[in-house]
Structures are given as C-alpha cells and as structure tokens.
C-alpha cells in the first residue's frame, strides 16, 4: 500500500476513536463495495461486503479478504454475504458467524456458517443452520449473539404468505440456536430453532441494558416496524401490520405508517435504539416508549450502525437491489 494512503487510513482510524467533534458524518474509510454489516473488537473494525469479503480496518489500514465457502456466495440483487457476528470467544478462537446467500437466481437459499482466519483470507469451518429459504430481495440476514450467549438470526418471508406463520418453515422468523448451531432446550417451540414468527423482512437486532431484544423489519408499502421481541411471539405478518391487531398477535413498538424508513441495522447506545435507515437517509432514534425522531441526518442509505464506546459508526449502501446509486459506499463516524 502506498505510504500516503497508509497514513491517510491510519489517521481515519484514529479519528474514529477520538472524542466526538462537531462534524456530523466524518468519513473513516471510503471505497467500500456494498458493505452489509459492521462489528468491532479491540480497536479493529470488521466489515462484510456483499460480494463475499470480510475486511479488517486497523491502524495499519484496511485489509479486504475473501471468505472461502463450501458453497459459492450468490452475489445477486439482495443476496450475498450479509450478516456478521463475532463469536463470544472471538478473542481466543478468532471465529466469526456469517449469513450467506447461495444457490442460483432460480433456486436461492441462505445459510449461517462459521469461519476462521486462513492464509490471505477467511475459511468456512462448519455450517450452523442450513436450508433457509431465499429470495431476490427478502432474505433477512442479520446474525447476533445475545446477552444469553445464544445466536439469533433474522430470516425473510420470501414473498410467500404462508411461511411467516408456518412453524415448520424457517422463513419470516427470528431464530435462536446455540453457538454450535444446536436448538436450545428453552426455546419456546420444542425441537424448533424458531424464537418468534410473523416477520416480513427483519434486518436489525439489538438488546437494551436489561437484556430485552428488539428487531427492525421492512414493511409492505410503508409500515416498517420496530418490535419488542418476546419468545414465542407472533408479530402478525402477513395478517396484520401497523396499528392493526388480532388475537395472539403483537403490534409493533413503533412503525412508519404509510411512509418508509427501509430499516436495516439496529443498535442500543445505553439510552435509546439507533435504527439505520436506507430510505430515511440517516439514523433514527427509537425510544423504548415507541417515540421516533431523527438522530443523525446523513443524506445517504445507511445499512448498519454500531455503537462502540462513545463512538457511533455506520456504513452506507448507496446501491440498492433495485437500482444502482450514484455515491460510493463508505464507513462513517456520526456526531450530533
């Protein structure tokens, strides 16, 4: 890497770790290619890109590395290498969990894999959850370890009205498995990985400081939602949305009404939920009482948001599965 570029990247990484400044959206790393998830560990930032890479940003610069998988990543429309979670023992094992889209445009599937650093890249070590139905647009794709040490996974409804309400299908759900991919004995439906059902296209997961789980999902023609997730809960799709109610189904904590946020990543900063908005063009603040306001106006499509210490980081995906955007993608640091 050219020395000038290296010094530039070092300065950007250091800037991300400094106390907040007056700048609203400061570029930490330019030149990203459809990034999807961002995580941090011991001063390093980890970023997935949809084409099949998992990169590391540190004081030496950005290393973009290919992920070697037993089934090739299908990077097509809304599918590719999506969610990322660092295992709870990451400091010792160096292993990560990834949500992967694979198959063909005519026969799409998703699965959750574990991977570890290999020479020059990352290598799949095992499949944790397989045979999740896929779709050109609605794949869910977020993976996250909860405070209970379990792995939570969001899946999309695949434009099939039966699957979100069908406990035998993994589509339109939030799943919960052990770090090894087994079904926990205390899941709400015996022998099933399903933690909650009735979801359309959830792409955000976050826990508050009491351990309460929240999820964000795309609605149909508006009616995007943030839900307070309870084990065994049914969140209604496709039978209800917005303020509609039905017996045995839970209405959202907050929703967008007839407009759209196009929500993706979700984080908790100690006081509030921060929601990455693709169509909202920034990060929204969702109060635990369901109030909604703008936290950071960026003017770009925000895919994921991460709170690390006192720093708020976000990634943009200015291209969309439906059309190409004009702006390149970047990692940014947000300040009020």
183, 191 in Cβ contact below 8 A? yes
pTM of the prediction?
A: 0.93
61, 10 in Cβ contact below 8 A? yes
| Residue 19 confidence (pLDDT) | 40
Q: Output DSSP code: residue 163.
A: G
User: Strands across the sheet with 173-177, in order?
Assistant: 143-145, 151-154, 173-177, 194-197
Phi, psi of 163 (to 5 degrees): -65, -45
115, 127 in Cβ contact below 8 A? no
Q: What is the CA radius of gyration of the chain?
A: 19
- H or E stretch covering 142: none
pLDDT in tens, the chain (336 residues): 444 334 434 444 444 444 433 348 999 999 999 999 999 999 999 999 999 999 999 999 999 999 999 999 999 999 999 999 999 999 999 999 999 999 999 999 999 999 999 988 999 999 999 999 999 999 999 999 999 999 999 999 999 999 999 999 999 999 999 999 999 999 999 999 999 999 999 999 999 999 999 999 999 989 999 999 999 999 999 999 999 999 999 999 999 999 999 999 999 999 999 999 999 999 999 998 999 999 999 999 999 999 999 999 999 999 877 665 556 899 999 997
Phi, psi of 213 (to 5 degrees): -90, 140
- 301: tokens are 């499509």
| Residue 271 confidence (pLDDT) | 94
| Residue 20 confidence (pLDDT) | 36
């Amino acid at each position: 890497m050219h020395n000038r570029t290296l010094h530039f990247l070092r300065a950007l990484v250091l800037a991300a770790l400094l106390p907040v400044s007056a700048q609203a959206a400061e570029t930490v790393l330019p030149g990203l290619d459809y990034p999807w998830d961002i995580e941090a560990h011991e001063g390093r930032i980890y970023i997935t890109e949809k084409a099949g890479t998992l990169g590391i940003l540190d004081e030496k610069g950005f290393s973009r590395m290919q992920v070697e998988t037993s089934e090739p990543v299908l990077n097509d429309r809304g599918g590719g290498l999506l969610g990322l979670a660092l295992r709870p023992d990451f400091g010792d094992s160096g292993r990560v969990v990834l949500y992967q889209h694979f198959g063909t445009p005519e026969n799409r599937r998703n699965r959750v894999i574990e991977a570890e650093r290999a020479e020059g890249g990352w290598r799949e070590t095992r499949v944790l959850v397989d045979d999740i139905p896929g779709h050109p647009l609605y794949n869910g794709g977020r993976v996250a370890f909860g405070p209970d040490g379990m792995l939570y996974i969001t899946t999309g409804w695949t434009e099939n009205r039966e699957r979100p309400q069908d406990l035998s299908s993994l589509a339109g759900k939030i799943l919960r498995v052990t770090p090894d991919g087994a079904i926990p004995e205390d899941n709400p439906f015996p022998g099933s990985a399903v933690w909650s059902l009735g979801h359309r296209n959830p792409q955000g997961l976050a826990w508050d400081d009491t351990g309460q789980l929240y999820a964000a999902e795309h609605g149909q023609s508006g009616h995007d939602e943030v839900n307070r997730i309870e084990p065994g809960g049914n969140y209604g799709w496709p039978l209800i949305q917005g303020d509609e109610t039905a017996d045995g189904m839970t209405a959202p904590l907050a929703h967008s009404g007839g407009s759209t946020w196009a929500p993706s990543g979700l984080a908790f900063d100690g006081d509030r939920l921060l929601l990455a908005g693709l169509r909202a063009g920034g990060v929204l603040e969702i109060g635990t009482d369901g109030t909604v306001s703008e936290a950071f106006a960026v003017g770009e499509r925000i895919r994921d948001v991460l709170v690390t210490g006192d720093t708020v980081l976000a990634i943009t995906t200015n291209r969309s599965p439906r059309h190409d955007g004009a702006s390149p993608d970047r990692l940014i640091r947000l300040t009020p």
